[in-house]
Each structure stands twice: as structure tokens, then as C-alpha cells.
Amino acid sequence: MGKENYIQTYGRYDVCFEKGNRCKLYDDKGNEYIDFVSGVAVNCLGHANPAIVKTINEQAQKVMQISNYYYNSKNIDLAEKLCKLSDHDMAFFCNSGTEAIEAGLKLARKYGRVKKGPEKCEIIYMENSFHGRTMGALSVTGREKYRKNFRPLIEGVKSVKFNDTENIKNTINENTCAVILEPIQGEGGLISADRQYLKNVRQLCDKFDALLIFDEVQCGIGRTGSIFAYKKFGTIPDVVCMAKGLGGGFPIGAIIATKKAGNAFEMGDHGTTFGGNPLASAVALTVLHELADNGIVDAIDEKSNYFIGRLNELIKKYPDKLLEVKGMGLLLGVKVKIDPRRVMDKCFSNKLLVISAGADVIRFLPPLNVKKNEIDEALEIFDKSIGEM
Ligand SMILES: *Cc1c(COP(=O)(O)O)cnc(C)c1O
């Protein structure tokens, strides 16, 4: 079967998917699954979205990649679109979430150096966070299970307790160049920042001239019901890192920054061969157009309320198994009293794909254009699966 030809980094289910449509996936035996994982918050317009397919076809016939020694119009348009949709002035493009984090961390180090000197290099990160697997992103990821086998990690990083103002107040200082956090901790279990906490962190960053970096790789690009999650929380960061949903299934990552932050990078400071290529940029433009201009994001709050209502009914029905709803928008979950892995497995055998988050949360990440009847269909299987446990 060729399965022995993998380096074994993933615990995969014994299924091989061949194709998809909206929130449905089909395996090589023709079985249909409801996909509420969406490639982990990636396929925001579902599988085989006609607008994305059309864009890929058209752009591939023109040009897919040229180096960053030259401009390309799709990338210029995408940078402009991201800045129009945000409170930011400039963008840098890469190919994944962890690369967007690396760009943010390097920008912060350079900012500190320009502002004060090499001693202004300390980066504060949150306990229970997840920012990616490369050495820099891993060094600011606050969960031991990801870090433990890869020391030494990068120097000059310090962790604080999420949502604990006193803790960060006692940690931040003149040599802090950045604070990085997820407005909603995704992998950590759908834990939201407190609005007031973010305001306090913003104030502290301003006081010590440190950059505030939001990792919106999972919670951004419409997931919360706004293109950028920070808008739902009322605090504007200096840098926003994004990826996952931005390409709707096509690999792309980006950061956007205010002029104050972005100008710290100068020619030669950072780069990537594939970053901002015309094909990925064209797809991201289409995704943003569909989400922001064709009403998909505006409809999320209502769908979210419906979804949460249905989940609360199930919590009432299974009080010994389900505890509470977590998350926001269509980044939703339910805290469980039973082993989340068993819930995933049971749902899988009933042909619903969901994933866990943290120690005790089952995550639902439908495409953002999901319909109410598709939510009903998925929750019917979830109901049945919990009932069988
Ligand atoms: C997935 C994720 C990343 C890493 O993105 P990759 O594309 O897998 O490198 C970083 N931060 C958050 C919050 C994520 O959910």
C-alpha cells in the first residue's frame, strides 16, 4: 500500500480520500463523510469550490510563479485587499502558518534592534499556545509536548499565563521586543482571550515599545465572523499572522503590519522563494472576495448562534458526557467529560470528521459557507455517536 514509505509523524485514520464537494468527502471505496475538520480550518469555502477551481485554472494558464525580484499584479492586489480589510499598511507573503510566525518573530527582533539595540530581543509568549513546528515558532509554543524533544530552542523567550495581566506586567520590560498570542487558542482547546486582557497587553506593549503580534492562523480569515479575529476583540495588534483559511486549501501564509512595525524590515532582511506567487495570490484574492464581498462572513454570526443552540440542546441531553460550548463563530467546540479521542473515533466510524483540541474539547470546523441543513446533518451523527458511547 506504500504506507511504509512515510516517516511516521502522523496518527492517521485508515481511510484514503479521493475527492470532495462542499463539506462532503468521498473515500476510495465511495463512502461519504461529512467533513467538519476542513483540513483544520483551511477549506473555508469547502471542497471543490467552483470559484477557486476557476481561479486556479485561469491563473495556471497565465503564470504560476515568478521570483520576488519582480512584481506580480495578483500579489499587489492581494496586499492591497488585506490592508483595506484591516487596520494595517503593509504585507509580507510566505507559504504556511509557521512561516508567518517566523516572519513576525524576525520582524520583532529587527524592530527591537532598530529601536534600542541588540538587547531589546525578548519575546513573551503564552502558556498553552500553539504557533507552529519550526524552531522559532516552536520556541514560543507554550505546550511541553511539542517542545520536549527539540531543545535547545531559541534564546530570549519567556512564557506567561494567558489572560493573567499581573503575570505579564511583571515580565514585560524595556528589552521586550514583542508579545505574541492567539486571540483564541485553537490547538490549546478553544480558549478565548478576555477583551480586557488584550487591552491591558496592548497598553503594556505601547508603554515598553514592544510589538503586539496576533497569531490568527487558525482564528482569522472569517472563522470568528469577522475577516480578522482582532476586530471581534476590539484590540488592534501591530502584526497579524495568517495562513490556513487564506488560500481556501491552497498553501499561502502572510503577515500584515502597521507602518511602524513593517518598516523595521529592510531589503535583504527576510525572504522566501514561493512567497506571494501569482497562483497562491490569485486564489487568496478569490477567497477574500467570496468571504468579504459575497456575504459569507456576514452570515456567520447567525449560523454560529444556530450551531451553538443545537450544541446546547445536546449538552442538556448528555449532561454526563458533554459540558459546555467553546469558541466563537465557526471555530466551535464542545468540552467533553469522556475521552475526546474516543469521541473522534466514534464519529469517524459514523462518517463524521471532527478533531480534538487541548485535553478535553471536540472541535467543529465546518466550511464558512456551511448551510443549516449541513450543520443539522453533522450534529445528527454527533448526537448518535455520543448516544452510542
Ligand atoms: C496551524 C497553526 C499554525 C501553524 O501553521 P502551519 O501552516 O501548520 O505551519 C500556527 N498557529 C496556529 C494558531 C495554528 O493553528
> What's the mean per-residue pLDDT of the chain?
98
Average pLDDT over residues 107-124: 98
Ligand 1: list residues with CB < 6 Å. 96-98, 101, 130-132, 182, 186-187, 215, 217-218, 243-244
If one residue of 99, 125, 131 were mutated to test the ligand 1 pocket, choosing by the most ligand atoms within 8 A of its CB, it would be 131
Structural contact between residues 279 and 250, judged by C-beta atoms closer than 8 angstroms: yes
From 93, 96, 98, mutation site for ligand 1 pocket: most ligand atoms within 8 A of C-beta: 98
Q: Which pLDDT band, with edges at 50, 70 and 90, does 359 fall under?
A: very high
| pLDDT at 31 exceeding the cut of 60 | yes
How far, in Å, is the centroid of ligand 1 from the Cα of 160?
A: 20
* Ligand 1 geometric centre to CA of 316 (Å): 33
- How far, in Å, from the CA of 122 to the mean position of ligand 1? 22
Closest atom of ligand 1 to CA, residue 99: 9
Per-residue three-class SS string for 303-325: HHHHHHHHHHHHHHHCCCCEEEE
Distance 101 CA to ligand 1 centre (A): 8
pLDDT at 3: 83
Within the chain, what is the greatest distance between any pair of CA atoms? 61
| Amino acid at position 15, single letter | V
Residue 249 has pLDDT above 80, yes or no: yes
pLDDT in tens, 172-228: 999 999 999 999 999 999 999 999 999 999 999 999 999 999 999 999 999 999 999
pLDDT of residue 158: 98
Look at residue 153 in the predicted model and tell me its pLDDT: 98
Task: Give nearest CA residue, ligand 1 atom 6.
Answer: 97
- How many helices (H) and strands (E) the chain has is answered by 14, 17
Residue-wise pLDDT for 280-302, tens only, equals 999 999 999 999 999 999 999 99
Q: Quote the pLDDT of residue 1.
A: 56
The answer on pLDDT for 2 being more than 90 is no
| Kind of pairing between the strands at 176-181 and 122-126 | parallel
Average pLDDT over residues 325-338: 98
| CA 243 / ligand 1 centre spacing (Å) | 7
Residue 20: pLDDT band (50, 70, 90) is very high
Percentage of residues in the chain having pLDDT higher than 70: 100
Ligand 1: centre distance to CA 318 (Å): 32
The reported pTM is: 0.98
**Is 217 exposed, middle or buried, given 0-12, 13-18 or 19+ CB atoms closer than 10 A?**
buried
- Ligand 1 atom closest to residue 98's alpha carbon, by position in its atom list: 9
CA 232 to chain centre: 15
Query: Please, are residues 123 and 180 in contact by the beta-carbon 8 Å criterion?
Result: yes
Q: What are phi and psi of 137, to 5 degrees?
A: -60, -40
